[in-house]
């Protein structure tokens, strides 16, 4: 019997601090090691919660820039004006509140690495300045005319298809090609289920120590359920699931019953604003819950179906986003005010 080449290939072995030894992650490790020694820009692609920042750190730590700063900027967390000042700095008097000169994140990352998370959320105006930094290695602080030279490696990340956004006109195609020198795709957890037992063990050890618990055993049914679940929140959602189990466990075993209902039933939360929930799926949900005979005539049937399902969906999405309402609202496809009202409506605002 021949031995798979990956077993004997040290380039596909796990990177320090990253859990997972399956084939899908082996390809990520190999590309990461190959690109780390260069100065090429890297574009990390993958869904939220797949570990893009961990790979960005690994590229920096394996590079010749490891002794220099690694600077992270979440481009989706700031408005255009604040992000421009954050990235490039500003001079005194550049805008209201600019009482002193400020050094930007690109300058802080000089000779090091800057990690631009959620690059897809940047405006076209900022994309022009980012393109210039990548091509000319220079920029101007906000409110200044003097150019600043920097030697900074750029690693960007996106949970959206940038080429698709470029075709829509919301992302510059030339910037896409400058960033996409070496793309690395981070597979979602549903595509690397062989890594779930190892990840669960890692998180068990972590949260046992943090909570002074001893949940040392795992019910085989729990592992099977976790490997069959879709994990829309990826590794981050799995992490939350294990933390919850450790906190709620009464004994030394992570049992099937400790898993969230979505994981036990294999039915991930559905984003109400993303796709239509047809009547048949709703009635199926009602029958599954045993709340009412779906065939019974009732003027309030639809609301009786929708309300409990909506409550569960919102609850699960809030859990998977660590209770951050702005993220939960985006995943549900509704605005934050609507989410706030629904949280109150379903009695979830205090959780």
For 161-189, how does the pLDDT look when each residue is reduced to its tens digit (9 = 90+)? Answer: 999 999 999 999 999 999 999 999 999 99
What pTM did the predictor assign?
A: 0.71
**DSSP H helical segments within the chain, as ranges?**
5-8, 23-36, 52-61, 80-88, 105-108, 124-136, 162-168, 173-179, 196-211, 220-228, 234-248, 261-265, 279-289, 301-320, 325-332, 336-345
At 14-61, the pLDDT tens digits run 888 899 988 889 999 999 999 999 999 999 999 999 999 999 999 999
pLDDT at position 292: 44
Residue 121 has pLDDT above 60, yes or no: yes
329 within 8 A of 335, measured Cβ to Cβ = yes
Q: Are 69 and 109 in contact (CB under 8 A)?
A: yes
d(CA 81, CA 64): 33
Residues, the chain: 351
Question: What are the distances in angstroms from CA 220 to CA 124, 184, 197, 240, 261?
Answer: 50, 33, 10, 19, 17
Give the C-alpha separation, 220 to 204, whole Å: 15
The domain 191-345 is classified under which CATH number: 1.10.3210.10, 3.40.630.30, 3.20.20.120, 1.10.8.60? 1.10.8.60
Per-residue pLDDT reduced to its tens digit, 277-321: 444 444 454 555 454 444 445 556 556 667 777 888 888 888 777
5-187 is classed CATH 3.40.50.300: yes
Q: For residues 34 and 28, give the distance between their C-alpha atoms in angstroms, rounded to a whole number.
A: 10
262 CB burial (10 A radius; 0-12, 13-18, 19+): buried
CA–CA distance, 3 with 258 (Å, rounded to integer): 38
Question: pLDDT tens-digit profile of 320-335?
Answer: 777 778 777 777 777 7
Would you kindly state where each structural domain of the chain is located, as residue ranges?
5-187, 191-345
Distance CA 131, CA 177 (A): 10
């Amino acid at each position: 019997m021949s031995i798979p080449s990956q077993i004997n290939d040290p380039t596909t072995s796990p990177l320090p601090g990253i859990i997972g030894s399956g084939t899908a992650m082996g390809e990520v490790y190999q590309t990461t090691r190959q690109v780390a020694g260069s100065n090429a820009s890297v574009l990390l692609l993958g869904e939220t919660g797949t570990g893009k920042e961990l790979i960005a750190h690994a590229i920096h730590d394996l590079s010749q820039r490891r002794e220099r700063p690694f600077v992270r900027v979440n481009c989706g967390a700031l408005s255009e004006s604040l992000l421009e000042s954050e990235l490039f700095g500003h001079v005194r008097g550049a805008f209201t509140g600019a009482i002193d000169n400020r050094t930007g994140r690109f300058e802080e990352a000089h000779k090091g690495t800057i990690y631009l998370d959620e690059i897809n959320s940047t405006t076209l105006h900022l994309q022009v300045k980012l393109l210039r930094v990548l091509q000319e290695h220079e920029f101007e602080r906000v409110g200044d005319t003097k150019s600043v030279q920097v030697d900074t490696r750029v690693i960007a990340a996106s949970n959206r298809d940038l080429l698709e956004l470029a075709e829509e006109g919301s992302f510059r195609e030339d910037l896409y090609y400058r960033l996409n020198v070496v793309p690395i795709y981070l597979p979602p957890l549903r595509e690397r289920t062989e890594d779930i037992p190892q990840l669960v063990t890692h998180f068990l050890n972590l949260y046992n120590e943090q909570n002074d618990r001893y949940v040392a055993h795992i019910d085989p049914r729990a592992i099977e359920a976790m490997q069959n679940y879709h994990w829309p929140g990826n590794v981050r959602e799995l992490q939350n699931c294990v933390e919850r189990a450790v906190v709620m466990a009464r004994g030394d075993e992570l049992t099937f019953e400790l898993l969230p209902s979505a994981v036990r039933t294999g039915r991930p939360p559905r984003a109400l604003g993303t796709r239509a929930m047809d009547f048949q799926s709703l009635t199926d949900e009602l029958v599954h819950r045993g709340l009412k005979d779906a065939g019974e005539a009732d003027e309030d049937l639809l609301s009786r179906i929708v309300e409990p399902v909506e409550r569960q969906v919102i609850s699960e999405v809030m859990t998977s986003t660590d209770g951050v309402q702005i993220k939960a609202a985006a995943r549900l496809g509704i605005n934050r005010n609507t989410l706030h009202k629904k949280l109150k409506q379903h009695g979830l605002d205090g959780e």
